Amino acid sequence: MFQIEFDNQPDRVVGIDLGTTNSLVAWMNLTQPEVISGQDGEKLVPSIVSLSERDELIVGNAARQELIDHPERSIYSVKRLMGRGVEDVREELKLFPFRIAEGSESVIRVELGDRTFTPPEISAFILRQLKKNAEAALDGPVTKAVITVPAYFNDAQRQATRDAGRLAGLEVLRLVNEPTAAALAYGLDKRKEGIVAVYDLGGGTFDISILKLQEGIFEVLATNGDTHLGGDDIDNRLIHIALEDIQSEWGESVAQSGEAVQTLRQAVIRAKEALSFTPSVNLEFLWNGKAYRRTITREVFDGLIKDIVDSTLGPCRDCMRDAGVTPEQIDEVVLVGGSTRIPLVRSAVEVLFRARPHTELNPDEVVALGAAVQAGILAGTVENQLLLDVTPLSLGIEMYGGVVSKIIHRNSTIPASASETFTTGVDRQTNVLIHVVQGERELAKDCRSLARFDLKGIDPMPAGFARIEVRFLIDANGILAVTARDARTGKEQTVEVKPSYGLTDEQVEAMIEASIDHAEADYQAAQLSGIRIEADGIMAATEKAMRHAAWLTLTDEDRAQITAAMNRLKVIYCVNDHHLIHAQVDVLNQATHKLAENMMNTAVQGALKGTKVE
């Protein structure tokens, strides 16, 4: 352990990688980010919380030993449960030795002895240990942190991570996406632009992210992966083989002993790690006075795990396809996670992306180091780098019917960019009014209006055929640039606004509170607006179809049924009951089914008229 003393130093902000298998804390020293060791000299803190025989909660390496001896008294991989309900993780819970408390429904509570805890509370124990390690090393209090999260974490999972930080006595200044943190650790933000692939093979999960860097802004183009694929699968493969060998040699099985299996697991992990640096290794396991030994060569090891490594390549290809890039377009490849030390993994990644991946930094530490860089920016110890901030309120545009489509959500890290594609709501529409709003309410009238502008010159087409891309880009100074572009003609219009201009912290808080207070009413209003838009569309289409030649092909009964359904929908259109309107829309849809078929047949017959099949 080391200690560093500074006088009049700025607020200490640490970077934390709160991992599924292991967690780390890092900080920015005078020249570079550095991972902080605990009192035991270890940098990695296993993400395990256990209950000791003395009924004390223990964390990290001490808890890992308890997991070996008494797995039923330990909780691990709790990151998988953060911000999720029981139904979301019912299948995953079958893989864990710990139990979910009875009565857990929307909020998961796990049992530890005679007590129960939520996933954020368990994560808070891990964060407290990291905080304690940092305070001992830095010789002073640590109250602020940047914490990394997977790029795919939703709002609930991110909020659960913030809650864990607060419970641990930490003010979470930022949540940074893990792939972005990895890119920051390598200084890739200094590039003006480029495409970065971050391949993250951890202990329990595999993630692949494709980032686009433009003017210092990281945008996640696509993510993919497998939440049940990682280094643990490699360990389990070797354990399974070893257990079969042991039963064959000893004439008895040790698979039923949790303590024996966990001891064997540690031996397997040591052998696996050694094979990353040596051509062969001896796997040794001692139990009840008996010894099992087996020599494993790297060639044999590669053969055993090739299918597991290949399983990571499919998500990589899918991710590139979703991002719309080819391997040749990827400028940098970053490896994250201890399992990427395996030579077979590195060679497979290099072949797939056709580029040598970055391996200069410790793959276990790279995410924590990136978080420390972000922490240094916020603390003012890192200069001449882009300062990332967050949006105080959501930003979006008003849709047809007055509903808001949020494009950049509240608390999104900035600089940020996001885009969505919309269409026209009226036939032969040649211009679109873009109304930019700020706020958390569902209807535009309840949000703050920021700007209005017209996109003109759209090709006149039937409603729903035009493709209008609306792109939001917030720079480091909080200036929002909104661009609307007709994908068909290439015509575009841009306006710049200051999204937080004139809003005090109290006003922002009031807007957030209002969105919570009116959440149910806003949701109902949005549903009502949405179903009325759908009703408008089907009534307009039906009226148009009633003037079509196919209308005359229907029976009097069919025409009467459609007319009655239309009239009924017009009567209840203004009723403030979206369920009732939705039901009548379904009735009209069903009534016009035969009319639609006849219109299609008429169109096909017209197209084929006069043609011959040779």
Mind listing the pLDDT tens digit for each residue in 330-366? 999 999 999 999 999 999 999 999 999 999 999 999 9
Report d(CA 126, CA 183) in Å as an integer. Answer: 25
Both tokens of 232, joined, read 């643990």
Both tokens of 85, joined, read 């309900």
CB 196 within 8 A of CB 331: yes
pLDDT at position 7: 43
pLDDT at position 503: 42
pLDDT at position 294: 93
* DSSP label of 252: S
Q: Which of 66, 121, 178, 486 is catalytic?
A: 178
Q: Which of 200, 364, 365, 440 is catalytic?
A: 200
Burial (Cβ within 10 Å: 0-12, 13-18, ≥19) of residue 422: middle
pLDDT at position 68: 76
Report d(CA 466, CA 359) in Å as an integer. Answer: 46
Closest CA to 435 of 420, 416, 418, 448: 448
Q: What are the structural domains of the chain?
A: 13-182 (3.30.420.40), 231-303 (3.90.640.10), 389-517 (2.60.34.10), 520-608 (1.20.1270.10)
| Residue 79 designated active-site | yes
Burial (Cβ within 10 Å: 0-12, 13-18, ≥19) of residue 543: exposed
Phi first, then psi, for residue 491 (nearest 5°) are -70, 140
**What is the full DSSP assignment across 102-150?**
TT-SSS--EEETTEEE-HHHHHHHHHHHHHHHHHHHHTS---EEEEEE-
Report d(CA 172, CA 111) in Å as an integer. Answer: 27
Closest CA to 354 of 408, 303, 317: 317
Phi first, then psi, for residue 488 (nearest 5°) are -80, -45
Q: Which of 34, 43, 66, 79 is catalytic?
A: 79
pTM: 0.62
pLDDT at position 111: 86
* 101-137 confidence digits (pLDDT tens): 766 565 788 888 888 888 999 999 999 999 999 999 9
Both tokens of 372, joined, read 């420390």
pLDDT at position 387: 47
| Residue 17 designated active-site | yes
CB 375 within 8 A of CB 486: no
pLDDT at position 474: 79
| Coarse DSSP helix, strand, coil percentages of the chain, rounded to the nearest 5 percent | 40, 25, 35
Q: HSE-up of 307 (CA within 13 Å, CB side)?
A: 3
Burial (Cβ within 10 Å: 0-12, 13-18, ≥19) of residue 608: exposed
Both tokens of 338, joined, read 């201890």
- The segments of the chain whose pLDDT lies below 50 read 1-8, 387, 498-505, 508, 613-614
Q: Which of 17, 207, 389, 486 is catalytic?
A: 17
Helix (H, G, I), strand (E, B) or coil at 287: strand
